[in-house]
Amino acid sequence: MQASPTPKVGSTIVAEPAPIAIDWASTALLIIDMQRDFLEPGGFGETLGNDVSQLARAVAPIGAVLKAARALGLLVIHTREGHLPDLSDAPPAKVARGAPSLRIGDPGPMGRILIRGEPGHDIVAALAPEDDEIVIDKPGKGAFYATELGDVLQKYGVENLLVCGVTTEVCVNTTVREANDRGYRCIVIGDGCASYFPEFHQAGLAMIKAQGGIFGWVTDSAAILAAMSAANADA
C-alpha cells in the first residue's frame, strides 16, 4: 500500500517525560481531523463559537513531518470526524448539544456541517492525503470508536503512533487514551497539535506526559524530523 518500504531501523526520539526508542517498521503517523470543518471559517468549529484561526499553527509542523514520513515510507493514516448524510451515525445527544449557530447536518458555506462528502469534511489542501494513504472516517472523538483503525494497525503490525492534529484536548486526547488502553505507544507531536483554547492545548499535552507518561510521550516536530532524517541516512 505504501509507496516505498519502511526502513528496518530504529531511532530514539527526544521526548518527555523521557526519550523513546522506536522501530520505524512498526510505527505509523496518525493525523487527526485536519479538516476544513475545524480549521476554516464557516465550518463546525466556528459554529460552536470558536476562533478557528487558533488551529492554523499546526499545519506547517504537520506538513513537514508528513513530507518526511512519506520520504521514509512510513505508514500514514489520516482521520476525519463526520457523519453520514442521513445522520444515522450521529447521536441525538451530539446533534442537539449546545447552542451552535448551525447544527450538524445544517447547510453552511462549505456544505452541510460535519457531513461526509461535503467540502467542509475534506482535509485542508496543504495536508491532503495521497492515494496510497489510509483515511479513517470516524463518527466520534476517538479514532478507534466505530472505525476500522484497530484492524488497520494490526494488519500493518503497528505498535507506535506518532500522533498530531486537532484539537489537542478533544479528538487528539481521546484517541491517545483509546490507543494507550489498546497497548500502543503514542508519541504526540506538540506543535503539530492545536486547540481553540491555548490553555487547553498546554494542559492536554501536560496530562499525556505526566506521571511518567501516563498516556504517552510528548515531543515536537523538530525532534521527529531529526530522528527521521537520521533513519533515512541509515537506510
Residue 74 CA to residue 66 CA, distance in Å, equals 9
Residue 207 CA to residue 214 CA, distance in Å, equals 8
55 forms part of the interface with ligand TIU (CB under 6 A) = no
* Residues acting as catalytic residues: 33, 138, 171
Where in 7-46 is the site for ligand TIU (CB under 6 A)? 33, 38
Q: What letter represents residue 175's amino acid?
A: T
Q: How far is the CB of 151 from ligand TIU (least distance, A)?
A: 21
List 15, 64, 113, 166, residue binding ligand TIU (CB under 6 A): 166
Bin 73: left if φ > 0, else alpha if -120 < ψ < 50, else beta: left
Nearer to ligand TIU, 16 or 33 (CB): 33
Q: How far is the CB of 67 from ligand TIU (least distance, A)?
A: 23
Q: How far is the CB of 182 from ligand TIU (least distance, A)?
A: 19
- Set of cell numbers at residue 64: 513537514
Bond prior to 17 in cis (omega within 30° of 0): yes
Q: How far is the CB of 71 from ligand TIU (least distance, A)?
A: 27
Contact 6, 25 (CB under 8 A): yes
Q: What letter represents residue 177's amino acid?
A: R
81 forms part of the interface with ligand TIU (CB under 6 A) = yes
Where in 85-144 is the site for ligand TIU (CB under 6 A)? 141
Output phi, psi for 208, to 5 deg.
Answer: -70, -45
List 6, 26, 47, 167, residue binding ligand TIU (CB under 6 A): 167
Interface positions with ligand TIU (CB under 6 A): 33, 38, 48, 81, 141, 166-167, 170-171, 196
